[in-house]
Amino acid sequence: MCTFRNSPSISVTFNYLIMKHCIAIALTAAIVLTGYRHDPQQIVPVEFPEPPVEILTNYFNFIRLPEGSYRMYFSGYTQRECGPDRDKQDPYYAESEDGTYYDFKGKKEETTVERIWDNDYSAFPSIVRYRGAYYVSFREGVSHIFDENGIAAGKTRILRSADCKHWKSVALLSKEGYDLRDPKLSVTADGRLMVIQGGSVYVDKQLVDRVPQVSFSSDGRTFSDPAPVVYENQDRPAWCWRVTWHDGTGYAVSYGDVEDNALDLFKTTDGI
């Protein structure tokens, strides 16, 4: 069981920045800024200028480069309507000196894309290096949410590779009554591989609850069953996104009702 402590003084609200689902960029930005600026009280919106071409963007990921600057990767597509062409997405990136204002750079031309797994519907990946190997996690299901019987029962698949070319499945996590989503990997302060997952509960195709789940592995091969995350000082449904560890503390951003754009910053010292 994972306990995250919330400080009401750092509960924040963001406006949508680029698009309908741009809450993702704010979530990740908050972790980047708190993780490296040593000041969890200072969370600010990311400034992202209009790109030179009209694209819709989503699925952001941030890294801090060795020289101290930041790079943001994201996927983009030119279709205004979601449909079959939405799958035809290209990788883009932007860079920032301070982690707040990003300069759009365009396509990452040298990027190559190869399929590493093919089983029904796979989405929302995460990757981390752990004990000399690479691990990828993602949701595995039949569709974005429901199967042919109207049941939402997504599972978390975890792959392992020594060279990023040859991949082998080491885990398939599931939990009765839950749709496991957006599994994100991290390495805890005590050296365990951790995967935090959204746990959506549906009744008659209606979302009625969110109960994030967490699993751990000490060897990268055997994972504990998903167990619910416990929030202190939090009484509304929450979705806990990826955890970023810094100086022995894990930081995570969570949101409840998307309509009010409310975010909460949590921290944990041991992930238990």
HSE-CB at 140 with a 13 A cutoff on CA atoms is 17
* Two tokens, residue 14: 């963001």
Mean pLDDT of the 189-202 span: 95
Among 37-41, 147-151, 258-262, the minimum mean pLDDT is found in: 37-41
Question: Above 70 in pLDDT, residue 27?
Answer: no
- Residue 265 is predicted with a pLDDT of 80
- Residue 19 is predicted with a pLDDT of 30
Under 8 Å between Cβ of 30 and 39: no
Among 86-90, 169-173, 243-247, the minimum mean pLDDT is found in: 86-90
Kindly compute the dihedral angle of the four CA atoms of residues 136, 142, 144, 149, in this order, to the nearest 10 degrees.
Answer: -150
Residues 6 or more apart whose Cβ sits within 8 Å of residue 69: 95, 96, 97
Among 140-149, 152-161, 171-180, 228-237, the minimum mean pLDDT is found in: 228-237
Report the distance separating Cα 202 and Cα 48, nearest Å.
35
Question: Above 70 in pLDDT, residue 111?
Answer: no
Greater confidence, 10 or 75?
75
* Two tokens, residue 201: 């509960």
Residue-wise pLDDT for 120-153, tens only, equals 789 889 999 999 999 999 999 999 999 999 999 9
Among 41-45, 122-126, 159-163, the minimum mean pLDDT is found in: 41-45
Mean pLDDT of the 213-241 span: 86
Query: How, if at all, do strands 262-268 and 249-255 pair?
Result: antiparallel
pLDDT band, residue 157 (cuts 50/70/90) = very high
The residue among 234, 224, 222 whose CA lies nearest residue 271 is 224
End-to-end CA distance of the chain: 5
Under 8 Å between Cβ of 31 and 43: no
Query: Mind giving me the DSSP string for 148-159?
Result: TTS----EEEEE
